[in-house]
């Protein structure tokens, strides 16, 4: 029964011309679809052409020209390399006892850390922004506890100057085991 109804409906619609309302609806729908597809295709073409031109610019060495005219700056032009070097001591009975296996971390641009050796010495290089005057050195023990924090001047630790700084952490009544 269902098939007979569909056959009759199909045959009755097939021979008939579409009304003008149906034609205008289909035309409007087709125009909207065509406009949106054209817009999407135009956006895709612009994106592909822009990406291709960017890759061609980089491939042909355009970044060199940008650096030449100071539009693009390298890390070496915006940062300075600083070496922090020192000895970590604890005072006890008028003696300076070196602290070993203490992590020294720089709080700043990037996280840099170094561990003191058996004599309490540490040495680490860090890249800091130009114009930075001081950084915070954080001294952390094996249990990840902050035992001391010190402000270190960048000017005293530049690469040309070779003079380690002595850092005294605590006095004899501190919680650090000797």
Q: What confidence tens digit (pLDDT) does each residue in 12-50 have?
A: 555 555 667 777 888 888 999 999 999 999 999 999 999
Tokens (6 digits) for 2: 């269902």
Q: Give the pLDDT confidence of 75-108 residue by residue, as tens digits.
A: 667 777 788 888 888 887 778 888 888 888 887 6
Give dist(CA 157, CA 132) in Å, integer: 12
pLDDT, average across residues 55-70: 84
pLDDT, average across residues 57-70: 82
Residue 135 contacts by C-beta under 8 Å, 6 or more apart in sequence? Answer: 84, 106, 107, 108, 126, 128, 151, 152, 154
For all residues of the chain together, what is the average pLDDT? 77
For strands 79-92 and 165-168, give the pairing: parallel
């Amino acid at each position: 029964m269902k098939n007979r109804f569909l056959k009759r409906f199909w045959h009755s619609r097939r021979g008939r011309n579409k009304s003008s309302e149906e034609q205008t609806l289909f035309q409007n729908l087709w125009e909207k679809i065509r406009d949106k597809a054209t817009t999407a295709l135009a956006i895709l073409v612009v994106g592909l052409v822009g990406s291709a031109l960017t890759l061609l610019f980089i491939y042909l060495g355009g970044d060199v020209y940008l650096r030449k005219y100071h539009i693009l700056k390298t890390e070496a032009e915006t940062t300075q390399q600083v070496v922090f070097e020192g000895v970590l001591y604890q005072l006890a009975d008028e003696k300076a006892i070196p602290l070993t296996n203490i992590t020294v971390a720089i709080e700043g641009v990037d996280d840099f850390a170094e561990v003191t050796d058996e004599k309490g010495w540490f040495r680490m290089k860090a890249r800091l922004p130009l114009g930075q005057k001081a950084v915070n050195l954080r001294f952390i023990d094996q249990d990840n506890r902050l035992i001391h924090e010190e402000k270190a001047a960048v000017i005293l630790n530049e690469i040309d100057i070779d003079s380690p700084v002595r850092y005294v952490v605590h006095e004899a009544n501190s919680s650090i085991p000797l």
